[in-house]
Structure 1
Amino acid sequence: MLLQIVFPPTLLHTAASVFTLISMAILGLLETGGIHLQYSKFSNTTRINVPSRVGMFLIYAPAFLAGLASFWLFPHGDVRFLFLKSAITIHFFKRILEVLFVHKFSGVMGLESTIVILGTYFTLSSIMIYAQQLTQGLPEPSIDLKYPGIVLFLIGISGNFYHHYLLSKLRAKGSKDYKIPRGGLFELVICPHYLFEILGFLGMSLISQTLYSFSVSLGSAMYLTCRSYVSRRWYLSKFEDFPKQVKALIPYVF
């Protein structure tokens, strides 16, 4: 069944997929244990920091450049490869635009976390692209998921942008105060932007249909699930009027 939906993986491809999945799962478990990547509400001002806007720009820019460079490095390929390169590039270009024009930052970001996330995004994107390059000329999976993947990817980035926009409207310019998010799926979950980001990565994996891309989407889902859990716990600790029926990530469920 697996080989019906993914290209046959090499041993190295499989090893990279397992390593990525385990690494991202560990990062998620560390979040639940109180060891956070230092950004947003979990930034630690006692460490070496950079301004949040600078840090967030830095973590997305290399992955965007990797996506952009892939059109030059791998100019040939099938339509699936074109869709994947486009999805990766669009995803990180959108994030850069949000950093520059949508998000309202008031704090700092840990330099160590900036480097970790920067390296992670760049590595994941580069390997996804290279893994797709290795599939060129191989027989296609018997179940073609690239077009459902495109739809899911577009839903993911659209929903993610919309909820980032809602978050940006919560805070006046220069304010450092957090508020309980309202509107959209914030009425049901505290991290709908994470939910849509997971859908976006899942869309990429359906476009790609490589084992590595599925490991990235599953690993991202595991990390963001844990991050949403601790985010909800943080809101519960900070706001006495936080609505208890609002879940962390999945409406009515979790």
Structure 2
Amino acid sequence: MECWDSAVSSLSWTLIIGGLVFVLHQRRNPTPYGRYTPAENRCCPARVAWFLQEVPAFLVPLLLLLLTEAPGSGGPGTVRTLLLCCFMLHYFHRSFIYSFLTRGRPVPLSIVLYAAIFCSLNGFLQGHHLLHCAQFEDTWLMYARLVTGIVVFVVGLIINIHSDAVLRSLRKPGETVYRIPHGGMFEFVSGANFFGEIVEWCGLAIATWSLPTFAFALFTVCSIGPRGCQHHRDYQQRFEDYPRSRKAVIPFIL
């Protein structure tokens, strides 16, 4: 398959512009999500919703990978496959593990639909770019960035998975009460799970050093960063003894 430069560039800039517009919109008119969604709008069970909206970001790159001629041992082809597998690993966990463990509230069908469309397009963007467009030179600088980026990605993935486990442990099945999360990165930020995901995609952006992964990392910051800030304010209002030293999303900064 040829590299569709125009499609890759257009989708990347759409993510960048869309993320910045979303931040501005959230500052003026926050979108109800999760605990802030009116009960009458919740219609899709959380486990079904998470699976349906996340699985395209795993299946689309997998399909592209299966349709692409396997690279020889070593070299740029192996690097491309490794980086794409990092991307797919996150969404494999989200689709086939997290979605069946979550105890979240039902989700509006519109959010599931929009998220599935986004994951499909982003899965194609990242998969097609890495398999058919990305160029990796055999230099020490490239390998230094690659190793650094993958380490950062893995650290973010561990933070994300651990933080989700902490949140799940706060409630017994059937409970709807809210409790203050403790442990791990929750000692530093209210949105530890969001922070972990941001770290993941920043790590992948470092490893690939490309416009599409940078665009996705920026979009992630713009889309879940405001949610972390919203959760932080909610925790502070809900609990009088909430730790005042915690930040919202970025430790010691924001």
Matched, 1:14 2:14: no
Worse overlay, 117-126 or 11-20: 11-20
Aligned match for 2:137, one of 137, 140, 148? 140
| RMSD (CA atoms) | 2.2
Say if 1:55 and 1:85 are closer, same or farther in 2 by CA, change over 3 A. same
Percent identical across equivalent pairs? 23
CA distance in structure 1 between the partners assigned to 2:172 and 2:42 by the alignment: 26
* Partner residue in 1 for 2:110: 112
Q: Give the deviation of 1:26 after TM superposition.
A: 2.2
TM-score (norm 2): 0.86
Matched position secondary structure for 2:39: coil
Partner Cα distance (2:9, 2:137) in 1 = 18
Distance 2:60 2:5 in 1: 23
Partner of residue 65 from structure 1, selected from 59, 79, 83: 59
Alignment pair present for 1:49 and 2:43: yes
In structure 1, stretches of 5+ residues that fail to align are 1-8
- Of stretches 73-82 and 173-182 in structure 1, the one that deviates more from structure 2 is 73-82
CA offset at residue 13 of structure 1? Answer: 3.5
Instruction: Assess if the C-alpha contact under 8 Å between 1:44 and 1:110 holds in 2.
Output: no
Displacement after TM superposition at 1:79 (Å): 1.5
For residues 39-71 of structure 1, the C-alpha deviation after alignment (integer angstroms, 9 at most, x for no partner) is x22223232621112111111111111132232
Task: Please name the residue that 1:32 is paired with.
Answer: 27
Using CA pairs under 8 Å that are at least 6 residues apart, name the structure with larger relative contact order, 1 or 2. Answer: 1
Conserved in 2, the CA contact under 8 Å of 1:149 and 1:203?
Answer: yes
Length-normalised TM-score, structure 1 = 0.86
Q: Is residue 2:124 matched to residue 1:130?
A: no
> Residues 158-208 of structure 1, C-alpha deviation per residue, up to 9 Å, x if partnerless?
111011111111011100111111111212210111111011111222333
Q: How does 1:145-156 map to 2 (within 5 A)?
A: 145-156=145-156
> 1:177-188 residue pairs with structure 2 within 5 A?
177-188=177-188
> What is the distance in 1 between the residues matched to 2:42 and 2:229?
26
8 Å contact 1:28–1:227 — kept in the other structure? Answer: no
**140-149 or 9-18, larger mean C-alpha shift:** 9-18
Q: Please list the CA deviations of residues 133-171 of structure 1 after superposition, one character each: whole Å capped at 9, or x if unmatched.
A: 3326x4638641222221111111111101111111101
Aligned to 2:246: 246
Q: Where is the helix percentage greater, Structure 1 or Structure 2?
A: 2
Of stretches 165-174 and 51-60 in structure 1, the one that deviates more from structure 2 is 51-60
Which residue pairs with 2:82 in the alignment? 83
Whole-angstrom CA distance in 2 between matches of 1:129 and 1:37: 31
1:12 Cα deviation after fit? 4.8
Gaps of 5+ in 2: 72-76
Secondary structure of 1:70's aligned partner: helix
